[in-house]
Amino acid sequence: MAHDVSPTARALLALEVIQNSPGITAHKLGERLGVTERAARRYVAILREADLPIDSVSGPQGGYRVGRGLRLPPLMFTAAEAMGMVMAVMEGHRNAANPTDPVGSALAKIVRVLPERAAGPVRAFRDVFTPPPAHESPASPELTTQLIKACTVARRLRLVYRMGQAADRVMEIDPWAVVLRHSRWYLLGWSHTKQALRALRVDRIAVIEALPDTFTPPPELDALRTLEEHLSQGWAYPVDVLVDATIDETSRWVPRSLGRLEPDEEGRTRLRATTDEPDWYARQLAAIPAPFRIIGSPELQRATAALGQRLLQASGAKVSA
């Protein structure tokens, strides 16, 4: 596979290997690079032609070492580059926010040496991050950086929000948090245009304008929980389910995105939500290992009854007409 990488790029890889393994032989260097010993020597020659001090040490413990005269330039990131890198790492590695994890430790080192203009938003994002599934996100690092900054300093924003086939919408919002859920980035905040909580897809935000107004964020905000509960509301069909179990028990079976859990007078749990897909919702309810009863949704009642009929048929039991 060596031919897939340019000689210059391979030489830089050789430099990294030599830095990390002082005294490495040409044979071992070739193995690490996936090339022949002769090719490894050629990459060392390229480094020397570029005036990089690569010393050769003879003897049983000999090999290549980086000379003392080597001074590599510091890494320079723009704020958007830094945010893009951190977003990619944290989306692809669930423990990237944990400094005891190898990837998390490496990320922390990078953040420590970033200039403050780039490190500030990155730290704010990392410190409130919820580990995601590893999927790509279409959100723009430049735009996400601006949103993180606005959340950090509690600055109101005016946004242009794309509505698909409908006309773009202009709104003013107090940005509370940027949240990643199921590989999609959301801006959670209070819309002054609608006087309501809003969860906006970051990839649909076209323009951001910082306003002079500031705000006080909600105390002890659980951004992911608030987002998931918000996303469970506002759909076509109501959901009202009584589960014969406590809230603590029910919360272990029912994800927050499925709806709000409320206690009733007898210690049971009311599940309240809305849905556009009663058939799908009925399948989620079927996984609850406790008795439950659908109270206020004819569409969900019909979907659950149809699911029950299919399960009875699948079991081989006789289904009454």
* DSSP annotation string for 131-192: PPPS------HHHHHHHHHHHHHTEEEEEEEEETTEEEEEEEEEEEEEEEETTEEEEEEEET
Confidence at residue 277, expressed as pLDDT on a 0 to 100 scale: 85
Confidence at residue 4, expressed as pLDDT on a 0 to 100 scale: 46
Q: Give the integer Cα–Cα distance in Å for 293 and 236.
A: 20
**How would residue 220 be classed by pLDDT, with cut points 50, 70 and 90?**
confident
Question: Which of 67-76, 103-112, 118-127 has the weakest average pLDDT?
Answer: 67-76
* Exposed / middle / buried, residue 145 (Cβ in 10 Å: 0-12, 13-18, 19+): buried
**How would residue 211 be classed by pLDDT, with cut points 50, 70 and 90?**
very high
Taking residues 11-18, report their average pLDDT. Answer: 81
pLDDT at 210 over 80: yes
Dihedral sign from CA coordinates of 36, 38, 43, 44: positive
pLDDT at 72 over 70: no
Contact assessment for residue 273 and residue 260, using Cβ atoms and an 8 Å cutoff:
yes
Confidence at residue 268, expressed as pLDDT on a 0 to 100 scale: 95
Which has more pLDDT, 231 or 272? 272
Q: Give the integer Cα–Cα distance in Å for 167 and 212.
A: 27
Q: pLDDT (tens digit, 9 = 90+) per residue, 266-285?
A: 999 999 988 888 998 999 99
Task: Give me the phi and psi of 174, to 5 degrees please.
Answer: -85, 110
List of residues 6+ apart from 126 with CB closer than 8 A: 86, 90, 97, 107, 111
Confidence at residue 48, expressed as pLDDT on a 0 to 100 scale: 85
Q: Is the pTM of this model over 0.75?
A: no
Which residue is associated with the tokens 């705000």? 215
Task: Give me the phi and psi of 44, to 5 degrees please.
Answer: -65, -40
Taking residues 145-169, report their average pLDDT. Answer: 88
* Percentage of the residues of the chain whose pLDDT score is greater than 70: 80
In 3-state terms, what secondary structure has residue 302? helix
Taking residues 155-177, report their average pLDDT. Answer: 89
Confidence at residue 183, expressed as pLDDT on a 0 to 100 scale: 67
**How would residue 320 be classed by pLDDT, with cut points 50, 70 and 90?**
low
Taking residues 42-50, report their average pLDDT. Answer: 86
Confidence at residue 299, expressed as pLDDT on a 0 to 100 scale: 93
Confidence at residue 314, expressed as pLDDT on a 0 to 100 scale: 86
Q: Give the integer Cα–Cα distance in Å for 228 and 232.
A: 6
Element housing 80 (H / E): helix 79-92
Pairing between β-strand 196-201 and β-strand 237-243 as defined by DSSP bridges: unpaired
pLDDT at 316 over 80: no
Taking residues 194-215, report their average pLDDT. Answer: 91
* Exposed / middle / buried, residue 310 (Cβ in 10 Å: 0-12, 13-18, 19+): exposed
**Averaged confidence pLDDT in the chain:** 81
Domains, in order of start, for the chain: 2-66 (1.10.10.10), 79-219 (no CATH), 232-315 (3.30.70)
Q: Give the integer Cα–Cα distance in Å for 281 and 28.
A: 58
- Most confident of the ranges 1-5, 87-91, 137-141, 286-290: 286-290
Taking residues 217-238, report their average pLDDT. Answer: 83
Cα end-to-end distance, the chain, whole Å:
66
Confidence at residue 134, expressed as pLDDT on a 0 to 100 scale: 44
Taking residues 27-56, report their average pLDDT. Answer: 87
